[in-house]
């Protein structure tokens, strides 16, 4: 059944929120970082390893699972939980971000009906609509489904963004009307770039549609500054209900998680922990490091002295650097374990900080 979010406390000094929800007899606390399992797997890691890190919600990608293996296969397996053997909560995105990046001619390929694009697998021409996105997510059986929204370019002009926000609202209503899974929560998405009036309008109108939770989209574009990202959050948060989850989409840098929590966000996701790991990068208390650097060749200390993850307890920077340079997948596994664990622990520390004001 749908889980119910409970707001437990708001920090006296910031807008940071401490909350929780119960799922299958277990209490999950927010703020929370959600590892990304794009193709029903968090790259290089097992569900058992995620649980050992005390993971909560895991995100899966609607677009990729639609193309391969197909939502009917996942449904036949009993849904995503059984298919990927993860008994914690699962969120599926709408596929919007992927199809908008694949749509070539924005004016021609993005219509009121949906988005036309070519599959990255075989080049086949496809159409994804708000209704189809929701129908796919219904079959995938995730606990949280996302509305299908337009993902405009970060530097789009005001008139384009205004039209985009209005289309996203129409699509949100169509998706809500198509939603048929009574055990699945459906979230609305607030857009509007870094424009205060558009963010306010988008938030207010999306809330009128009465979703189970709300997300702030359009903040993970490659060409958007941190100032614009934080402004978009500040312009959106005041108009979102206090008794429902708030989700900042696609954000995973430690400083951005902290800034998002301070502004009142509850859940976050990003592919960065595993993507960075595959390129030899690791989060540490003092910043991000690149283990490919020669300075770590004979460094026989853990990645981070303050971390108690499996990688830090058992292996040194020198060994992990050797694995990465030698292109051994165990190196990417160890750094993925560390990076995801680091962000989960960071959120635990933030929850403690909120509880103590």
Edge-to-edge, what's the strand order for the sheet holding 17-23? 6-10, 17-23, 26-30
The predicted pLDDT at position 223 comes to 67
**Average of per-residue pLDDT across 131-155:** 94
pLDDT at 113: 96
Annotate 140-176 with DSSP letters as a single string.
HT-SEEE-------TT--HHHHHHHHHHHHHHHHHHH
Tell me the per-residue pLDDT of 305-321, one tens digit each, with 9 for 90 and over: 999 999 999 999 999 99
**Residues 173-221 pLDDT 10s:** 999 999 999 999 999 999 999 999 999 999 999 999 999 999 999 998 7
Catalytic position from the list 149, 266, 269, 304: 269
**What pLDDT, in 10s, does the model give residues 208-239?**
999 999 999 999 876 678 999 999 999 999 99
275-334 per-position pLDDT tens digit: 999 999 999 999 999 999 999 999 999 999 999 999 999 999 999 999 999 999 999 999
Tens-digit pLDDT profile for residues 80-128? 999 999 999 999 999 888 887 777 766 679 999 999 989 999 999 999 9
pTM above 0.85, yes or no: yes
Residue 103 has a pLDDT of 75
Question: Where is average pLDDT lowest: 88-97, 148-157, 159-168, 201-210?
Answer: 148-157
Cα separation, 344 vs 269, whole angstroms: 11
- The full length of the chain comes to 357
Beta pairing class for 213-216 and 246-248: parallel
**Catalytic, out of 93, 212, 256, 266:** 93
pLDDT of 79 higher than 80: yes
Q: At what angle do helices 226-236 and 196-208 cross, to 10 degrees?
A: 40
* Cα–Cα distance measured from residue 249 to residue 110, given in angstroms and rounded to the nearest whole number: 22
| Residue 244 C-alpha from the chain's centroid | 17
Q: Cβ of 115: how many Cβ atoms within 10 Å?
A: 24
Dig out the tokens for 18 from the structure: 């401490």
Q: How far apart are alpha carbons 25 and 39 in whole angstroms?
A: 27
User: What are phi and psi for residue 96, nearest 5 degrees?
Assistant: -60, -45
Going along 191-245, which residue ranges are E strands? 213-216
Name residues whose C-beta falls within 8 Å of residue 229's C-beta, 6 or more positions apart in sequence. Answer: 219, 251, 256
Burial of 314 (0-12, 13-18, 19+ CB in 10 A): exposed
Tokens 């390129």 label which residue?
A: 279
Residue 13: Cβ within 10 Å count? 10
% the chain with pLDDT above 90: 91
Mean pLDDT of the chain: 95
Q: What would the mean pLDDT of 139-162 be, rounded to a whole number? A: 93
Cis preceding linkage at 304, omega within 30: no
Q: What is the pLDDT of residue 96?
A: 85
pLDDT at 68: 97
One-character DSSP codes across 63-123: HHHHHTT-HHHHHHTTSHHHHHT--S-EEE--SHHHHHHH-SSHHHHB-SS-EEEE-TTT-
Structure confidence at residue 199 (pLDDT): 98
Query: pLDDT grade, residue 9 (50/70/90)?
Result: very high
269 tagged catalytic: yes
């Amino acid at each position: 059944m749908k889980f119910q979010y409970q707001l437990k406390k708001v920090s006296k000094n910031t807008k940071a929120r401490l909350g929780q929800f119960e799922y299958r007899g277990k209490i999950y606390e927010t703020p929370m970082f959600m590892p990304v399992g794009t193709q029903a797997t968090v790259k290089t890691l097992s569900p058992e390893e995620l649980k050992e890190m005390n993971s909560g919600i895991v995100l899966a990608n609607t677009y990729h699972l639609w193309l391969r293996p197909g939502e009917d296969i996942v449904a036949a397996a009993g849904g995503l939980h059984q298919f990927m053997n993860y008994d914690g909560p699962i969120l599926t995105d709408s596929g919007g971000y992927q199809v908008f990046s694949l749509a070539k001619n924005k004016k021609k390929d993005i219509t009121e009906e949906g988005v036309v694009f070519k599959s990255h697998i075989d080049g086949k021409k496809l159409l994804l609509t708000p209704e189809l996105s929701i129908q796919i997510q219904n079959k995938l059986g995730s606990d949280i489904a996302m509305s299908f929204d337009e993902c405009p370019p970060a530097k789009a002009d005001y008139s384009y963004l205004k039209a985009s926000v209005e289309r996203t609202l129409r699509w949100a209503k169509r998706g809500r009307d198509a939603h048929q899974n009574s055990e699945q929560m459906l979230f609305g998405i607030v857009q509007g770039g870094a424009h205060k009036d558009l963010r306010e309008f988008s938030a207010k109108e999306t809330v009128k549609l009465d979703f189970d939770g709300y997300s702030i989209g359009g903040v993970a574009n490659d060409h958007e500054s941190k100032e614009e990202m934080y402004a978009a959050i500040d312009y959106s948060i005041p108009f979102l209900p206090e008794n429902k989850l708030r989700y900042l989409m696609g954000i995973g840098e430690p400083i951005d998680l902290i800034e998002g929590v301070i502004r009142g966000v509850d859940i976050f996701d990003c592919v960065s922990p595993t993507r960075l790991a595959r390129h030899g990068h690791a989060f540490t208390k003092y910043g991000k490091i690149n283990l490919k650097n020669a300075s770590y060749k004979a460094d026989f200390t853990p990645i981070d002295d303050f971390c108690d993850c499996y990688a830090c307890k058992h292996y040194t920077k020198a060994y992990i650097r050797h694995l990465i340079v030698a292109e051994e997948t165990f190196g990417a596994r160890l750094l993925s374990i560390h990076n995801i664990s680091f962000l989960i622990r960071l959120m635990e520390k933030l929850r403690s900080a909120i509880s103590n004001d």
